[in-house]
Amino acid sequence: MSEFGLIEHIARLFADADHQGWEAIGDDCTVLPIGGDEALAITTDMLVEGVHFLRDATSARELGRKALAVNLSDVAAMGLPAVATLLSVALPKDAGEEWAKEFIAGYHSLSKEQGIALVGGDTTASEDKIVINVVAIGRGPLSNVKRRSAARVGDAIYVGGRLGASAIGLKDILSQKYDTPYAEQHRLPVAQCAEGAWMGARKEVHAMMDLSDGLASDLCHILRASQCAAEIIVGQIPAVDGDVESAVCGGEDYKLLFTVESDMVEDFEHDFEAQFGYRPYRIGRIIESVQPEIIWLNKGERITPQWRGFTHF
């Protein structure tokens, strides 16, 4: 069973459970309204040695920041600020006190920058691999929450930053080139926390999620949840080094992907730039369709991409 197959199986199994106000599986976080216009958003993400990182290719300190950053990215994707986290670690004997202290120093440095407390977790031994699990909690106005299901026909589609650096960096790391700028971006992704919380308060921002698996795969989650299709102008994808394949199919960029009401794009881009000093990248639009597909356009013509690792949806 694939990862998504298992998640669908779990979601179906629990579909009729009493959710007691919690939103069901399917978005970057689950959301609980807590009275007035307040809500909590909660997410969890795991990093496993050998699957998500190689111990020799990353420092413990970097890993501490990354474990937190990838979770903060999911909270940002809901349009809320993160307020607290829980951290669980399973450590083998050869990742001893020194490794653990460095890891926590990294985790603490990003927590401090973001003003977030660590309020719980679990610590245990492991046979030979390091396993890290983080729970991140966001809190803010329920009316600011952005869901994958909120894209509307006509919306402009944006990404919050340049794409593909992490995938290129991973290739560098796997060929033992650890000190390239892209390798560093792979080890130290920067979540768009301030941007996510700011966009939460912008009514013209409709659907939002973060890019962890790659644009081609992640955009389909919005399209499926919102029951629509997308036209993407390939030439407008902000691909690092002009490497469109890495930008579209590579994962772990942790930039925000969002849709904006079409007649608000000028004001939105202007205000975004005034706030953050750069413009987000408009890459296409949402179109009406019963099939949640991505139509890739190159110079106005529809193309069928031949990118490696690209599976047509």
Of 21-29, 129-137, 170-178, 222-230: span binding ligand ADP (CB under 6 A) = 21-29
Whole-number minimum distance, CB 190 to Mg ion, in Å? 15
* Angle formed by the axes of helices 193-200 and 265-276, nearest 10°: 140
- Give yes or no for a contact between 113 and 64, defined as CB atoms under 8 angstroms apart: no
Of 20-28, 149-157, 189-197, 242-250: span binding ligand ADP (CB under 6 A) = 20-28
What does the block give as tokens for 77? 């994707």
CB of 63 or CB of 208, closer to Mg ion: 208
Residues of span 189-228 touching ligand ADP by CB under 6 A = 212
Residues of span 130-149 touching ligand ADP by CB under 6 A = none
CB of 46 or CB of 84, closer to ligand ADP: 46
CB of 28 or CB of 172, closer to Mg ion: 28
CB of 61 or CB of 250, closer to Mg ion: 250
Whole-number minimum distance, CB 200 to ligand ADP, in Å? 16
Is 238 one of the binding residues for ligand ADP (CB under 6 A)? no
Is 28 one of the binding residues for ligand ADP (CB under 6 A)? yes
Q: How far is CA 239 from its chain centroid?
A: 17
- Report the interface residues with Mg ion, using CB under 5 A: 28, 74, 210
CA distances from 130 to 20, 66, 182 (A): 35, 14, 24
CB of 10 or CB of 303, closer to ligand ADP: 10
Residues of span 154-183 touching ligand ADP by CB under 6 A = none
- Give yes or no for a contact between 285 and 228, defined as CB atoms under 8 angstroms apart: no
Residues of span 284-303 touching ligand ADP by CB under 6 A = none
Whole-number minimum distance, CB 156 to ligand ADP, in Å? 22
Q: How far is CA 271 from its chain centroid?
A: 23
- Give yes or no for a contact between 201 and 272, defined as CB atoms under 8 angstroms apart: no
CB of 205 or CB of 211, closer to ligand ADP: 211
Is 62 one of the binding residues for ligand ADP (CB under 6 A)? no
Whole-number minimum distance, CB 45 to ligand ADP, in Å? 5
Q: Can you give the binding site for ligand ADP, defined by CB under 6 A?
A: 7, 10, 25-28, 45, 74, 212
